[in-house]
Structure 1
Amino acid sequence: MNFFRHQEEARRNTGRLILLFSLAVIAVVLTVNLLFIAGIHFATYSSTEGSRAFEIYDGEHWAVVSFTTMAVILISSFFRQLSLSKGSDVADSLGATLLDPGSREADERRLLNVVEEMAIASGMPVPDVYVMEDSGINAFAAGYQPSDAVIGVTRGAISALTRDQLQGVIAHEFSHIFNGDMRMNMRLTGIIYGIVFIGEIGRMIVRGSHNRGFTTRRTDPRAAAFGFALMAIGYGGEFFGRMIKSAVSRQREFLADASAVQFTRNPDGISGALKVIGYGAGSRVGSPSALEVSHFFFGPVMRFRRAMFATHPPLDERIQKIQPGWDGHYLQPRMQHIEVRDFAYNDSDAISGFSAGQGEAPENVDSSDTAVAHADTGYEAIPYEARGEEFLRSEIAIINAMSAEALVFALLMSGSTEETAREQQNMIQQRHGSDTFREALRYLNEARRSDKEVRLELVERAMPALRRMSLRQYRTMNQTLVSMIQLDNKIDLFEWCLYRLILQYLGRHFGTLPAFRQKRKSAHALADDIAVVLAYVAHAGTKNYQAAVLAFEAGITSEQLLMRDCNPEHAPHKSLKPLNKALSALIASAPEVRERVMRAISVCVHHDGKITMEERDMIRTLGAILETPLGMFENPAELID
């Protein structure tokens, strides 16, 4: 499944949608003008002189009314999209509640672990998870980018689905993230809202036409008629808008189902979830706001009498696409509370689809639902003598914002000399207090015992807890990280990777990272910036200059880029400013350009037949910065193995 190709397809579909909706907006503008002309006609018509409508309603009136109508639609659409710009905004509008990342309730822990495993294995931050208290089986993904996405799941899905089925549903939602569907869904919602707003103005005019006094109630029939006409125009536009939205959504659902199968390598998971819905559980969502964002969901939020308004294909058709030999039988919901413990430190390779070629990692969870579960998720079962990363993974599952902050400090200090680490510890104690200081020391001992290759993974796992910080706490943490990194007057690669991940994931969340407007520049137009990035990658993998030059040339001349005559000497070892500047240019490029850059980076890294820890860290970090997480590639293992 080439997610970049499907992102480009989504972009083209968005272009077609904009064309269709532009025609709809033009139709609305023309109809509003005709409405004014009709009103003037009836107001000025006489049997002797006829109508003066076209005499009075000249070109200037056409321009003013057209501009005003267009402005109302576009401005209301813009503000609606802005109100949904964060995934959390969508979740809040649906009445969903944020799930505590430290929850010990067995079913909630299982959901959190599934989401965490898939996020880490796909190279994206662990998203916030929201719960809707609906008995129907449903889920949604929302957000503009992988870095600000959220996952929402109904209580019915949490309790009625097995682990494999739940994994299939979550994989379906992750594929919407990678396919670029979330951004398109936001735009669809915004444009339809803009058209409907014309009808809302009409409704307000109708209400205002009923003038109530202390003793009398008078109605202005002309104002009421005008208001009703605007309502008809607005809601008529909504009618056609919903048809377009539903047609697009149905196609994207088939794609997301296929992607979920590829992710998990288990068609029984997602098909099983669909069969449980068909058995009778349904996928209904009770929130009044659900209909507006119905195309965000895994299943239909309500039954549609007309197929043209259905945002999802028929259930049987979806199942047959996944399992062509399906016998037509549905599945009963699982019995509750019968799954074995979900340890917090499950290896991310549990999702075999994200680690193709590596073999299947042993599961800590018996998804057959035959073992009796314990409400306690078993953190105490991890001996202190266990490897450091296992202890830290178990801690992350029950961590709060302060402890997560301390963990980040500890991971940063784990690569420092003893002298530098002592100065960094003093800085933490002075700026963040004794509690954070003591917690950082506790984690530091474990971080130093951990495999260095998992340090960035631990940062990504801690993201849900880090998002619980206030903006002020985040700014203070950010300043402390910068000061800690600058203490020894040099920045090593791990320090840069850790800081850029924090900046990428939390900067977007707290609104401190500036948004980049996408520019449709070709790879050749960005050749110098691509060369800078590849040169840094080449030098990160080896201390041998000639080997770095060969790796650079392999990447820059690969079939992904086919560039010639680029200078490999782009990587001054004393400064990372050129790299940061080059990345700023690439961030704003089109998804297909960023894909080609990431594949060229992979060629560069694999040139010598091996991959170092530094190269792994760099691929993961660059994937995050360029919003191209590993899960978007057909075989992520090709990039990191």
Structure 2
Amino acid sequence: RGVFDAGNIIDQIGNPDWERMLMAAALAASIPDNIRQAAHSTEWAPEVLFYSLLDRDEELRERQLLVVARRMGSDSESQVRALLKSGGVARPEQRLPLLEVAFPALKRRPPDFVARVLETANALIEVDGKVDVFEYLLARVITLQLQESRQPHRVKVAGRKGLAALQIEALQVMAVLADHGHDDEQSRLAAFRAGLGSLGLDSSTAPPASDEWVRLLDRALPRLDELKSADKEKLVRALAAVVLHDGRMVASELELLRAVCDLIHVPLPLLTGS
């Protein structure tokens, strides 16, 4: 099989909470109409992405705006400031829906321009010296899609490897996902064990260390992208089990799940129509 829909995979799990939680997340975002319209606009889409990366700290935010002015020009900076004045700093739950709306519009621009936008976004991410989950999602997924749009004939949505051969990588990703969605060790362990149960693995299996999660994902996800389609389905079921085990879903969990699924070529249902 080729491309498959993770929405159907979730349905196969028999978990009706998935669509309800996606809808709740979309409603919680409550993006102002003018910002949503800007995200749909080919002209404004880059600035919406920059806006979504603005820090809550005013000093860091001003440094980011200077980066936009230096790399993209004063008009671009003015547009970002207008979005900021209109909607305030984007809340965590707003950022993924903004990305989902803005990226299709951005892709309609010339590849060289999109590359410059990506370089600017990476520069904004680097201002505070840290990478959060949304920043990881934006940087890695846009980079991948930009590369694949330039060489579509080289895109492979599935490989030939089985999950048993990549069990360590699968457990690492599950551990990272459990770590980002829960505040205490007991909850993280319960989430991880939900994933183990989905894969039919021993519940006493200890979660791998997930401290250096960016480096870990950058190493594990290209390998997991080599899985056969059926084994990618099993992995997505397990990741969904990690997220859904407690009946709630925070923004970082959904962002991380989106990033993982995009980077292994498994499309998840969108939060909002694009």
Task: State the TM-score, normalizing by the size of structure 1.
Answer: 0.37
**Contact 2:45-2:105 within 8 A present in 1 as well:** yes
**Contact 1:411-1:444 within 8 A present in 2 as well:** no
**Does 2:199 correspond to 1:560?**
yes
Give the length in aligned residue pairs.
258
Give SS of 1:469's match.
coil
The verdict on how the C-alpha distance between 1:603 and 1:355 changes in structure 2, with shifts beyond 3 A counting, is: closer
Q: List per-residue Cα deviations over 1:57-100 (Å, max 9, x = no partner).
A: xxxxxxxxxxxxxxxxxxxxxxxxxxxxxxxxxxxxxxxxxxxx
Cα offset, 1:564, TM superposition? 6.0
Structure 2 distance, partners of 1:443, 1:519, is 42
**Does 2:32 correspond to 1:389?**
yes
Give SS of 1:559's match.
helix
Cα offset, 1:584, TM superposition? 0.7
Select the residue among 446, 451, 454 that pairs with 2:94. Answer: 454
What are the within-5 Å matches in structure 2 for residues 144-223 of structure 1?
Answer: 178=5
Cα offset, 1:554, TM superposition? 2.2
Structure 2 distance, partners of 1:617, 1:629, is 13
Partner of 1:537: 177
Which protein has the larger Cα radius of gyration, Structure 1 or Structure 2? Answer: 1
Mean Cα displacement is larger for which, 503-512 or 485-494?
503-512
The verdict on how the C-alpha distance between 1:357 and 1:464 changes in structure 2, with shifts beyond 3 A counting, is: closer
Structure 1 distance, partners of 2:213, 2:178, is 16
What are the within-5 Å matches in structure 2 for residues 135-534 of structure 1?
Answer: 178=5, 388-397=31-40, 399-401=41-43, 403-413=44-54, 415-448=55-88, 452-511=92-151, 515=155, 518-534=158-174
Partner of 1:582: 220
Amino acid at match of 1:404: A
Unmatched segments (≥5 aa) in structure 1? 1-6, 12-144, 146-176, 180-258, 263-352, 362-386
**Does 2:264 correspond to 1:629?**
no
Identity %: 25
Partner of 1:600: 238
Give SS of 2:174's match.
helix
**Contact 1:428-1:480 within 8 A present in 2 as well:** yes
**Contact 1:428-1:437 within 8 A present in 2 as well:** yes
Amino acid at match of 1:606: L
The verdict on how the C-alpha distance between 1:449 and 1:480 changes in structure 2, with shifts beyond 3 A counting, is: closer
Partner of 2:27: none
Structure 2 distance, partners of 1:534, 1:355, is 18
Structure 1 distance, partners of 2:166, 2:49, is 34
Cα offset, 1:426, TM superposition? 0.6
Amino acid at match of 1:620: R
Amino acid at match of 1:428: V
Structure 1 distance, partners of 2:176, 2:97, is 22
Q: List per-residue Cα deviations over 1:568-626 (Å, max 9, x = no partner).
A: 13311x45111121111111211211111111111112233322221122222222222
Unmatched segments (≥5 aa) in structure 2? 25-29
The verdict on how the C-alpha distance between 1:477 and 1:598 changes in structure 2, with shifts beyond 3 A counting, is: same
Give SS of 1:576's match.
helix
Cα offset, 1:566, TM superposition? 4.2
Cα offset, 1:391, TM superposition? 2.2
Cα offset, 1:407, TM superposition? 0.9
Select the residue among 183, 191, 209 that pairs with 1:570. Answer: 209
Amino acid at match of 2:222: S
The verdict on how the C-alpha distance between 1:357 and 1:608 changes in structure 2, with shifts beyond 3 A counting, is: closer
Cα offset, 1:438, TM superposition? 0.7
The structure with the largest helix share of the pair is 2
**Contact 1:518-1:588 within 8 A present in 2 as well:** yes
**Does 2:233 correspond to 1:615?**
no
What are the within-5 Å matches in structure 2 for residues 108-123 of structure 1?
Answer: none
Amino acid at match of 2:259: T
Cα offset, 1:408, TM superposition? 0.5
Select the residue among 550, 557, 562 that pairs with 2:190. Answer: 550
Structure 2 distance, partners of 1:584, 1:513, is 18
Amino acid at match of 1:400: T
The verdict on how the C-alpha distance between 1:357 and 1:537 changes in structure 2, with shifts beyond 3 A counting, is: closer
The verdict on how the C-alpha distance between 1:514 and 1:447 changes in structure 2, with shifts beyond 3 A counting, is: farther
Structure 2 distance, partners of 1:481, 1:515, is 24
**Contact 1:389-1:447 within 8 A present in 2 as well:** yes
Q: List per-residue Cα deviations over 1:23-57 (Å, max 9, x = no partner).
A: xxxxxxxxxxxxxxxxxxxxxxxxxxxxxxxxxxx
Give SS of 1:562's match.
coil
Amino acid at match of 2:256: M
What are the within-5 Å matches in structure 2 for residues 1-150 of structure 1?
Answer: 7=1
Cα offset, 1:516, TM superposition? 5.0
**Contact 1:411-1:455 within 8 A present in 2 as well:** yes
Structure 1 distance, partners of 2:34, 2:217, is 35
Give SS of 2:32's match.
helix
Give SS of 1:610's match.
coil
Give SS of 1:608's match.
coil
Q: List per-residue Cα deviations over 1:250-275 (Å, max 9, x = no partner).
A: xxxxxxxxx9xx9xxxxxxxxxxxxx
Superposition CA RMSD, Å = 3.3
The verdict on how the C-alpha distance between 1:460 and 1:355 changes in structure 2, with shifts beyond 3 A counting, is: same
Structure 2 distance, partners of 1:517, 1:501, is 14
**Contact 1:412-1:498 within 8 A present in 2 as well:** no
**Contact 2:159-2:227 within 8 A present in 1 as well:** yes
Give SS of 2:201's match.
coil
The verdict on how the C-alpha distance between 1:561 and 1:628 changes in structure 2, with shifts beyond 3 A counting, is: farther
The verdict on how the C-alpha distance between 1:513 and 1:466 changes in structure 2, with shifts beyond 3 A counting, is: farther
Cα offset, 1:430, TM superposition? 0.6
**Contact 2:5-2:268 within 8 A present in 1 as well:** no
Partner of 1:162: none
The verdict on how the C-alpha distance between 1:416 and 1:504 changes in structure 2, with shifts beyond 3 A counting, is: farther
